[in-house]
Amino acid sequence: MAGSDTGGTATPVPHPGQGPTVSVAVATAIVVADMVGVGVFTSLGFQINDTASGFSLLLLWVVGGVVALCGALSYSELGAMFPRSSGEYNFLSRAFHPAFGFLAGFVSATVGFAAPVALAAMAFGEYGKSIVPAVPPLALALGVIWLVSLVQLAGVRHSSKFQLIATILKVALIVAFLTAGFAVGTPQPVSFAPAASDWRHIASAPFAIALVFVMYSFSGWNAATYIIGEMRTPQRNLPRALLAGTLIVTVLYVALNAVFLYTTPLQAMAGQLDVARIAGSHIFGDTGGRIVAAMICIGLVSSISAMMWIGPRVMMTMGEDLPALRRFARRSRGGAPIAAILFQLAVANLMLLTQSFEAVLDFIQFGLLFCSFFTVLGVIKLRITDPDLPRPYRAWGYPVTPIVFLLVTLFMMYYLATERPLQSFLGILIMISGLAIYAVFRRRTNDGPVSVPAVNQDASML
């Protein structure tokens, strides 16, 4: 088996009093919550500058959803083959080498989730000040992270209930906003039907560049792969959660942009960041801004909750494999990896207090795309090198679907390397530092090379 030449297998740390408890509904909620942040509420204003066609603008979000689905199909195949929490750390270790997996895990466990958590919390604070102006945005940001972290520390069952309720509320508010927009909004002279001129927009460079930023709004479609080990029957439920979550978000994204275009003049949104607030004021009048701010704040709570749940699972799983990180693998009676959660909480708080999260996000974007690219490439590699491996789920549309994802991701990496060369270079340095740490940990391991546990086949996993 690819990735099995690792000098033996480690024994996963048992989950005290816990079998897999996460249902497909909760896993789907994690995918939806992790994907729907502030991106969809802020992107349209800049897309309008280069593309004024309603059809072309909506097509951007449809294409983004299709590409995300292509990635979800590939991740589903790997997750069903290797049902272990931690996402790319697990997949790259299996498909290529544990060093490659550690590289991805190092980025995710240190800043890959903490920086987006800090950004989402700061956005919560900025939107929240329009509702409670007496409280500073930083205090609101710190408060929401601590509140969500306390829920996560309470255990998996409490986390599941909180995540499901928060995500259902988020989707319900978005649906209510969409319904109100189409029902009471003033229609604008925009057409969503395709026209001959649209194909010129679609074939243009601005359309391709806009797709890069659309794909950032779709990031998070792989969220459930970080908690596979906590899912019931992951071989069946992981593909369902990834595909259902991505489809739900795609529909919401297309509908949100449609209602923005339907209710708000293009010139009012062009070049503006707070598109949702502008649209809200056109739909609901003077109170529209507060209504939209409240909707986004509630939605951000579920996003932060999802990232504070799945992020620490990377460090937890690395702790199961690496003696130097063993304390992060320990779980409470409720199944919460307390040390890993507190570590991510501390890093996110540090980024908020130092206002460093935006710079960190710039540095790690290239590395995150790099890891996703090679994870999907691993599906193709394993199909060729290990065709007889058990595959409870096979990616639909193979090899077209993984190739579509690879081509779009490669374009995004090229865009970042050419438009932000310094940030991309620093991102590569962060990954190289992860390899250096891996080499140190490997030398300290007395029993041979750092290993990856075999795929769990016991009753608790199935």
Distance CA 259, CA 263 (A): 6
Spatial separation of the C-alpha atoms in residues 274 and 45, rounded to whole Å: 8
Asked if pLDDT for residue 17 goes beyond 70, the answer is no
Instruction: Supply 194's token pair.
Output: 């395709």
pLDDT at 434: 87
User: Residue 190's pLDDT is what?
Assistant: 87
- The SS3 assignment for 231 reads strand
Residues near 191 by beta carbon (within 8 Å), at least 6 away in sequence: 54, 55
- Does the pLDDT of residue 84 top 90, yes or no? yes
CA separation for the pair 61, 38 (Å, rounded): 15
* 218-231: pLDDT as tens digits: 999 999 999 999 99
Q: Measured between alpha carbons, how far is 380 from 374 in angstroms, rounded to an integer?
A: 10
pLDDT of 9: 37
Q: Taking 70 as the threshold, does the pLDDT of residue 104 lie above it? A: yes
Q: What is the DSSP letter of 447?
A: T
pLDDT digits (tens, 9 = 90+) for 426-436: 889 988 888 88
Which residues, at least 6 apart from 353, have a Cβ–Cβ distance to it below 8 Å? 138
Q: What is the pLDDT at residue 445? A: 65
- The confidence score (pLDDT) of residue 440 equals 86
Give the pLDDT mean for 351-380: 92
**Window from 7-11, 135-139, 161-165, 314-318 with minimum mean pLDDT:** 7-11
Spatial CA neighbour of 27 closest among 222, 202, 214, 301: 222
Q: How far apart are CA 330 and CA 45, in angstroms?
A: 46
* pLDDT reported for residue 18: 54
Do 426 and 376 contact (CB within 8 A), yes or no? no
pLDDT reading at 293 higher than 60: yes
Mean pLDDT rounded to a whole number for the chain: 89
Would the pLDDT of 67 be above 70? yes
449 vs 365 pLDDT, higher one? 365
Share of the chain above pLDDT 70, in %: 92
pLDDT exceeds cutoff 80 at 455: no
Which tens digits make up the pLDDT trace of 109-141? 999 999 999 999 999 999 998 888 899 999 999
Q: Which domains does the chain have, with CATH numbers?
A: 24-444 (1.20.1740.10)
Q: What is the CA radius of gyration of the chain?
A: 22
Numbers of helices and strands, H then E, in the chain: 19, 0
